[in-house]
Amino acid sequence: MELNNIDNLLEKYFQGETTIAEENQLKEYFSSSNVAQHLEQYKPMFGYFSQAKEQKSTQEIPLQTKKQNVAWLSIAASAVILLGIGTYFYVSESNKTNTAVASQTELGTYDDPEKALKATQKALALLSSNVNVGIESVQYINEYEKSKNKIFKQ
């Protein structure tokens, strides 16, 4: 009867369906001296579990804190942020002075009518090229609408 019980418990054990109490029964059985011949192969496995439970580690694990690294990292990040802010204000101030000097020297008026005509044509050509790009996009949308209406007749 007990041998049948041990066989059933072993089957449940290998399927992962045993309880703690049933596993303790298996450990007690395999730690005893009267183990059935066909179950001798499992004796070292259960013997190892009981030995491993009693072993204690004597090796110390050094714990290293990362507080010092975090402190240096936060100092470096603060320095980078301050440098970035300083650079931004320096560049924006330089642009303001350059813009102010340019606006004082160049008022957007021309003494020579030919230069004024060329500058106006250049500006209108730039505007025209940008408007043409927008018109081409609208033409693609119109083609899409035509195709859609052919496919999905309303």
Per-residue pLDDT tens for 83-138? 999 999 888 887 777 665 555 455 567 788 888 888 889 888 888 877 777 766 77
- Which carries the bigger pLDDT value, residue 64 or residue 127? 127
**Cα distance between residue 100 and residue 92, in whole Å:** 12
Q: What is the pLDDT of residue 1?
A: 42
Give the pLDDT mean for 54-59.
Answer: 73
Of residues 53 and 120, more confidently modeled: 120
Structure tokens at 46: 């259960």
Q: Considering the domain boundaries, does residue 59 fall inside one?
A: no
15 & 28 share domain: yes
Residues 127, 140: one domain? yes
On whether both 45 and 29 belong to a single domain, the answer is yes
Domain of 37, in residue numbers: 2-54
Confidence of residue 10 (pLDDT cuts 50, 70, 90): confident
pLDDT value at residue 66? 58
Q: Does one domain contain both 103 and 115? A: no
Q: Assess whether 48 and 11 both reside in one domain.
A: yes
- Does 117 map to a domain? yes
Contacts of 7 (CB under 8 A, 6+ apart): 39
Instruction: Please say whether the beta carbons of 18 and 9 come within 8 A.
Output: yes
Q: Is the model more confident about 58 or about 103?
A: 58
pLDDT surpassing 50 at residue 47: yes
Mark whether 93 and 126 lie in a shared domain: no
How many structural domains comprise the chain? 3
In a domain, 60, yes or no: no
Q: Are residues 102 and 117 in the same domain?
A: no
